[in-house]
Amino acid sequence: MTSLIVISILAACKQKEKEEDKGFISVVSLVKQQVQHIDTALYSIIKITYTDTSHIDTMYIAREDFEKVASDFLDIPDLSDKKVARKYKAEPARYDEQMNRVIITYNPIDPGKEEIKTQEILVLPDPGAGDKVTNIRIVRDINNRDSSLHKEMLWRMDKSFQVITTSQKPGKPEIITTTKVSWNEGSDQ
């Protein structure tokens, strides 16, 4: 009888483990691959920052500094981690005919508790050569006692990324900062 109970408990644990492995695509892993590629490539990396459309700052970024500049994408919760994945759900994938992309969307089960409000992965379907991720879109809200940040983040694979940050402090006007980093914009690949 005791061995039957133990077997039942083990079976239930294995079933729970299977349920928690949702098979989400890891945005963090995709971005890490891009960072590693850029670290070994000879691209000119350009960072342009706009603040409330009144201030523009342009600078070149050294390859060894690229990972730090891309940190907004690298420090998000990784949905390949089962503990993180259980807080999210995958919406049904949809195909957008005009863009010729499959859109995979992950949203938090309880949006009020999670910083990441949505993750979207756009995939170019190609049965011959294999499907290719083209864009990653993330919406993130970070709130603490003395400020709030809203980030709209877009990563264009093999080309560039952009982060639009809206920051708000109590009693002060909001500040919108757009940061665009590009390394391979002229390429059609």
Is 34 contained in some domain? yes
Is 187 contained in some domain? no
Task: Give the separation between CA 179 and CA 145, rounded to whole angstroms.
Answer: 25
Average pLDDT over residues 15-23: 55
Q: Give yes or no for a contact between 79 and 72, defined as CB atoms under 8 angstroms apart.
A: no
Is 33 contained in some domain? yes
Is 9 contained in some domain? yes
Helices (H) and strands (E) in the chain, counts: 5, 10
Is 178 contained in some domain? yes
pLDDT of amino acid 6: 36
At residue 20, does pLDDT exceed 60? no
pLDDT digits (tens, 9 = 90+) for 69-118: 999 999 999 999 999 999 999 999 999 999 999 999 999 999 888 999 99
pTM: 0.83
Domain residues for 37? 2-182
At residue 53, does pLDDT exceed 90? no
Is 159 contained in some domain? yes
At 65, list the tokens.
Answer: 């500094």
Is 189 contained in some domain? no
Q: What are the residues whose beta carbons fall under 8 Å from the beta carbon of 70, sequence distance 6 or more?
A: 31, 34, 35, 161, 181
pLDDT digits (tens, 9 = 90+) for 74-84: 999 999 999 99
pLDDT of amino acid 8: 40
Q: What are the residues whose beta carbons fall under 8 Å from the beta carbon of 33, sequence distance 6 or more?
A: none
Is 188 contained in some domain? no
